Every structure is written in structure tokens, then in C-alpha cells.
Structure 1
């Protein structure tokens, strides 16, 4: 479709099939390309209902205001059994609710390793029968306990958790400590060295961090995220600057503690050698912000995107804790060593909470180096951030993107805008091997399954009509 407008100069705006614009370019005719797409099929009636909802505009204004007002502070590090109330046999996982029967290879591997870590079995392989029987074990999403977990996201009672708090209202969120890359539990690996590393983290690293955080005082994670974006991180697959800033804040308390100097040295080396260490602070910081918008009737803002390796799910501010799910997709990206697409599991992890808050794949423009890790090009990264602005409600000026004239990170995914434009949120992510025990096989770019947004829109429309019926 093309339309011509006349002013002092004649130009052409082109939307739809690119061949028209290409032909005009070839003839040196000024042309503006408009990225227009029809609404998602079958959403017209629900869009009309939700867009005209008298509560929507004010509800979304309140939701944005609530999210942007949160200051996420690191206030503690503590075992999951203390801060989440997890009991023996209780396990949390990434993504929407999941049963063992539907669990993917990396999710099974992580659960099997966690069962051995907790002493429920001696050999992780023996945990398959335990979970299949369901006797003495239970599974629940991390989000159900105000927590988030990267990749498989498995949390068991003895694991230590970052504790973040909004000082304004005392709300808290949680995330486990980051193990590093490669063969790690969150990617479904459970070899002896994986379990020994986790035991060391519970025995040594967790208590050291707890003492350091308490001695240092609250650490402003929201401010660190803002600085990271100025320094080339996007806080999902690139966290180098964030990790170094966290290390800067904690190191004085660590080296002046009464702990064994060799333990302190080992902890500092581990954190300094793990560029993703800050990811597990960024994630609960984003969740703390987004949770502030939960329960606002009429709001169409997405407050969670999460994947369990089988399904991709979203939650929306105006529909309480209901999940809208579809099949998780396999990321398109780069693979490690001899691994290829056939080795990759579908998308997995709660780490898309970063994109939900406006960073990660939504702020790829601030971290052009990331394209060498997940594929694509620098122009792709810039275009992606601009495109995400088309499906969001606001910009977060605390998280400015220098290369785009310091525009704020696009924040507040709007279900109606996704359905109206057919533009899906862009996520950059690691890829786990599809078989239990393999670990990481690559990293890439992925989007949610398109059908989950019309499902959320339909639920919002039902609530809108119900309100109208009650008031009428």
C-alpha cells in the first residue's frame, strides 16, 4: 500500500509489501517506510472492547507510575527455606506451572540435581522415579513465591537467595545466586562438580555475601542498572559492568570481614570470573518493579514473561495471577562448539522479566557488542529497541540509552499494542541442551508464541464486558 502526500516537496510513504518502496528507491524518489502490520487475526472485537474500556487509560497510567516509582535495593542474602518458606521436597521452577510429565530435558536435569543436593536421593538419576511418583515432592513456579530464576530456575530449600526490597512499601523479591556458564544446574547439568559448586555456594559464598550486604547496607540495584546501560550492558546476556559495580560495593566488607582469607579470595575470584553474576540481581529488581502494577483493574500492561522449557507464559496487571500460555519457541542464534539447532531445547527461564521491564532485548541498542553473542547486527539492535517502543506504554528515563539520544528504555508492554501491531516482544537468551545433563549449547534471539497475547486480550475483554454488565 502506498500513499502520496504533497507539500513543498513530493514524497511517498510506503507501508506493507517492501517491493513498492524498493522500486521507488531505485528511481531516486524520496520514500518513508512505515512498519505497518494488520492486527492479529480474530482480535478485532476484543480490541474494540478493551481499547474503549473507560478504566484502561487511567489504569495504565497508574501501572506505569507504580513501576517507575520503585527503587530496588539489595538488603540481604539468605537461604530459601528462611525467606521463601520452602520445606524439604518443595521445589520452585521457572515459567508457568509445570508437571514432571511435561518437563523438558533441562528442567528435569535441574530438578534431579536439586533433589540430590537436598539429600532426597544419592544419585541424581534416581530422582526421575521420585518425581514421577510425586511422593514427597512438589513443584511450583518461582513467581508464585515472589521469586525469579534464570533458565530452569530451580530453587530448593538449601539454596541461598538475593533479597531485594522497595523501601517505600517493604515489598520483597528473591533470586538464587548465579553459578556461572556452561555445565551448571540452571542449564540442566547435574554432574558431581555441579553439585559440589552448589554446596560451596551454600556453605561459603552465601554466608559471605550475607555478611557483606548487611555490613555495606542496602545496595541500589535500580541505580546500578541505569549505570550499566551507560556502560554497554543490557542486563540480560551482558552483565559485565553490573557485576564489577556489585563487586566494587561488596569487596571492602568482604576483605575486612573475620572470614578465612582463602574463602574470601575464592569468593572474589568466583564473582570476578563470572560476568553474569549480576543477572540474578537484575532479575528480582525488574520483578520488584513490575509487581507494583499487579492487580490494577483495567490495566493492559504485561507484568511477567516466563518460560519453563515447554510453555511460554505471560501475566497481565489487570488479570491478577492468571497465566496465558503457548508453546515455547527455539531461539535463533549462535551455538557453542559442535552443537546445533537439533541440540537446543525450547526457550526456558524467568530471565525474560528483564525484557518485560524494558531492558535485555528491549535495550539491545545500548549493548551493540551483544550481537556477537546472540546473532544479528548492530543496526538490528538499534532497530529492535525502536520497534519495542511501538508496543510499550512509556520510557524509563532512569534507564537511558545513550546511542538513541538518551531515550528511556521502552517500558510496559501493552497487550493491546501487541495485538494491534502484531509486533512481538524481542528476547535475547541463552539456550539449554534439550537433553538432561548437557548444559548450555548456545545463545540467541526469540519471541513469545503469538497466540498468548490474543488469549490475554480475550480475558481482559471478558472482564471489561462483565464490569459493563454490572454497572448497566
Structure 2
């Protein structure tokens, strides 16, 4: 019996839509198969074309996509959080995800809050910090309420240096701290003298070196362009940022040299960035935020402009209702763990880094980064399958972010609540995993789906407009 490949004279790749078992006989003949997780339309879900007030939903969504595509996000400088983030003050801590109180915060977010209070000199030790956090004297507010984003626990305290990203097309700005790296770090809820010492070095050495360099670049650094390039170099700019971090070093390198005041300090700064492949994450995140904010406020749109988690709740916000959160319990990540840990140690999904998926990269662009599976688990086929599936729930394709492996097709852009409900396909996210207890930090990385309840509640709300 001749194999299928022999009949056509060249290698075939088959796209299987539906049951995985249907591809078995094809796989048995040595043919590559990509399984697309397709489902028939959900029963009882009406297709919304217009709002009750008569707004054309497709037209509203096209307006949102157009605004996001037109955005040009550049790193314009740096500053201290209390001085540059709107609404920030000395007794405020920003956090990732939807609003949450100290009583409901998960372990890693509590750990980051305690560590930030120690870093600020407001508490002497962990017990003192916990008492202060529970006292009501500290205001907790979501990063997203202040044009900011924070990875994992996402805590931003008043003295922390932040990047300032500006959308040159619309003039809005977004903010994010500098990335500490992986392991026992504050953003994963890590605590201890070494965590505080690293944060202080980032404030006293890393920040001034980068800030001086950026001050000599009147046009800043085009981060949107770096993301586009990195997608062609094997990154997806959420959990794989190796190429993007290297591109950033190339972009800022001459300015670092020209503004250098001390060779050893400069060498340590370059080594720190070079050894931290995730350094660019804290640039890709505020880029996504800066690009998405102009789409907020478009009446009748069914697109998601915020998707974030605080380790307790998962929340989304819509272009048509940018001040309203639709929440559900944060999900459990399925992934790869460091040798001494397993799923029993894991905290539920956490962080603002899903702004990348919302903006059209990250999990949406996994087909551009097959090596990401070495970090989060799965297979290269899964990476491609994920991106193909995400086209089913998005309103457009990004003109600026393209995927070589898909013949330079634009990445899926604009998560449409209607399509999520009609198809039953939920956004797929790749993410880090924090230990459930405060003080320990990162224990692994993996993938998961956004919870359905957020989208169901958002859809019910849209039906009332």
C-alpha cells in the first residue's frame, strides 16, 4: 500500500478540524497533522449585529482595530512611580489584575506587598509589613486604573523606577517597572534581603544608567518595531523575549556608551540585562497597554481591551465599558515545574502580562515562537495550533505583527466576546507560575485558558446596551 506522501510526491501537512481521533489513520502513514480545536457554534447564543441603541457592532470593532493598528509605541524615558504615574502617592501600592483587598490577596501578591513595604522603608520586617498592609493605612489600586501594568503580582511602590511608553499617534502613556528576572523575585512574591538588595540596585544603578541614555534619544526607542522584529526571530514577547531583549540592548547600546560615567557600573547593567531574557517583558507589556487604550470608549464594541489576573480573580474589560470589570476565579496553570515543586505548590493564574495576548502577541503569536514550549510545556505543534485557533475568536489580523511560519500572516488581534461565546473557544495564555505561599517566588511556567464566566457575563452585559 502506497503512503499518502508518495501519491503527491512531496511532504504534506494536514489540518484536522474536530476530533483528534479522526487524524489517527493519517498520522499512521507518517503525515504531519495539526489538530485544530474546533467546536460547532454554541446553542442559544444569538449573533449580535447591533446594540439595542442601534450601533453597528462590526463597524465599532473595525474602529477599535484601526485605532490599535495606527498606534506607535515608543520608550520615551523613565521616572519614579510617584512622580510620573497618574494618581500615585506615597501610601499607595499598585497591583496586577482586578481590584482586590488585602484580605482576598493570594500568597504571592501578599508577599510582593510586604516586600514593597520593606523596600520603601515603611516596615522593618515581614510581620510589621503584614500588620501595616492589613491596617487600612495603605491604599491598594489596580495598575490598570493608572495606565500601568505589572507582571505576576504586579506590585508597584512609590519609589520604584518605571519605564514610560508613549503612543505617538494618540499621545497616551503607559508605565511599567523594570524586570527583576526569574526565580526568587518580588514580582513572584519573593521575600528576603537579596530581593530588597536587587531592587535597591535597580533604583540606584540600573535606573540612572538607562535614564541618562534615554535622555539623549529625542525620539525614544520604537518598541512596537522591536516586537515586530522579535516575532521574526523566535519570540512571542510574553514568555519568550530572548531576541527582543537583545534587540533592545542593540538599540540603547550607543547611548549607554556615550553617557557612561563608570565602566564597572555600565558593565554590570549590561550583564544584568543580557542575563535576563525576560527584561523586555516589562517593555512589551506597557507597549500593549499604550496601543490598546485608544480603543477604550468605542460605543458598541464587543472587543476586549483589558485581560488581567491578581492570583485570586481573572478579569476582563471591554472597549465599550472600559471602567467595568467582568471577573471569575483565576484558573490553574498546567505546565512545567522546577525539580522540587509540583502543581500542589502553584498559585492560580496571576499577572497583567495577558495585556500581550489582548494586544495581538504573546499567546496569540505562539506560532512565531515554537521554542516557547520548552519553557511552558507542550509541543511545537501546540504553538502553531494555538495561533490558528485564536483567529477564530478575534476580529482582525495585525498589520504590523506577522508570523513567518504562517506565510507572514498577521497575528490574531481583537478578542471578540461574541466569537468567544459563539465558538466556545477561550483565549489561551502562556504564563509563569508563582508559589502559593508568600516569600518563595517562581516555581514553573505553563499554559491555560481564560475562564468562560468572564466572557459570559460580558456578553450578557453587551446584550443590554
Query: Same fold judged by TM-score > 0.5?
Result: yes
Match of 1:310 among 303, 312, 325: 312
TM-score normalized by the length of structure 2: 0.91
C-alpha displacement of 1:62: 0.4
C-alpha displacement of 1:395: 0.8
Whether 1:360 aligns to 2:373 is no
Partner of 1:348: 350
Q: What are the residue-to-residue correspondences of 1:2-151 with 2, within 5 Å?
A: 36-39=38-41, 44-45=45-46, 47=48, 54-84=55-85, 85-134=87-136, 136-151=137-152
Report the number of matched residues.
446
C-alpha displacement of 1:170: 1.5
Q: What are the residue-to-residue correspondences of 1:371-386 with 2, within 5 Å?
A: 371-386=373-388
Gaps of 5+ in 1: 1-12, 464-472
C-alpha displacement of 1:50: 5.3
Q: What are the residue-to-residue correspondences of 1:240-279 with 2, within 5 Å?
A: 240-279=242-281
Contact 1:55 1:297 in 2 (8 A): no
Contact 1:205 1:267 in 2 (8 A): yes
SS of equivalent to 1:322: strand
Taking the aligned partners of 1:91 and 1:32, their CA distance within structure 2 comes to: 45
RMSD value, Cα: 2.3
Taking the aligned partners of 1:96 and 1:382, their CA distance within structure 2 comes to: 30
Taking the aligned partners of 1:245 and 1:24, their CA distance within structure 2 comes to: 42
C-alpha displacement of 1:335: 0.2
More off after superposition, 17-26 vs 445-454: 17-26
Contact 1:46 1:457 in 2 (8 A): no
Taking the aligned partners of 1:359 and 1:126, their CA distance within structure 2 comes to: 41
Contact 1:75 1:163 in 2 (8 A): yes
SS of equivalent to 2:278: coil
1:33-82 superposed Cα distances (whole Å, 9 cap, x missing partner) = 985424557x6258577599642011011000000000001000111011
Taking the aligned partners of 1:187 and 1:299, their CA distance within structure 2 comes to: 34
Contact 2:108 2:434 in 1 (8 A): yes
Partner of 1:204: 205
Partner of 1:10: none
TM-score normalized by the length of structure 1: 0.90
C-alpha displacement of 1:32: 12
1:292-348 superposed Cα distances (whole Å, 9 cap, x missing partner) = 110000001100110000000001101121000000011101001210000000000
SS of equivalent to 2:464: helix
Taking the aligned partners of 1:287 and 1:108, their CA distance within structure 2 comes to: 25
Contact 2:34 2:385 in 1 (8 A): no
Contact 1:106 1:439 in 2 (8 A): yes
Gaps of 5+ in 2: 1-14
Taking the aligned partners of 1:313 and 1:44, their CA distance within structure 2 comes to: 22
Taking the aligned partners of 1:15 and 1:177, their CA distance within structure 2 comes to: 42
Taking the aligned partners of 2:405 and 2:200, their CA distance within structure 1 comes to: 43
Contact 2:96 2:142 in 1 (8 A): yes
Taking the aligned partners of 1:227 and 1:324, their CA distance within structure 2 comes to: 34
Contact 2:336 2:375 in 1 (8 A): yes
Contact 1:255 1:261 in 2 (8 A): no
Taking the aligned partners of 2:52 and 2:403, their CA distance within structure 1 comes to: 30
Q: What are the residue-to-residue correspondences of 1:286-297 with 2, within 5 Å?
A: 286-297=288-299
Whether 1:231 aligns to 2:237 is no
Taking the aligned partners of 1:340 and 1:432, their CA distance within structure 2 comes to: 11
1:387-435 superposed Cα distances (whole Å, 9 cap, x missing partner) = 0001001111211100011100100000000000000001000000000
Partner of 1:413: 415
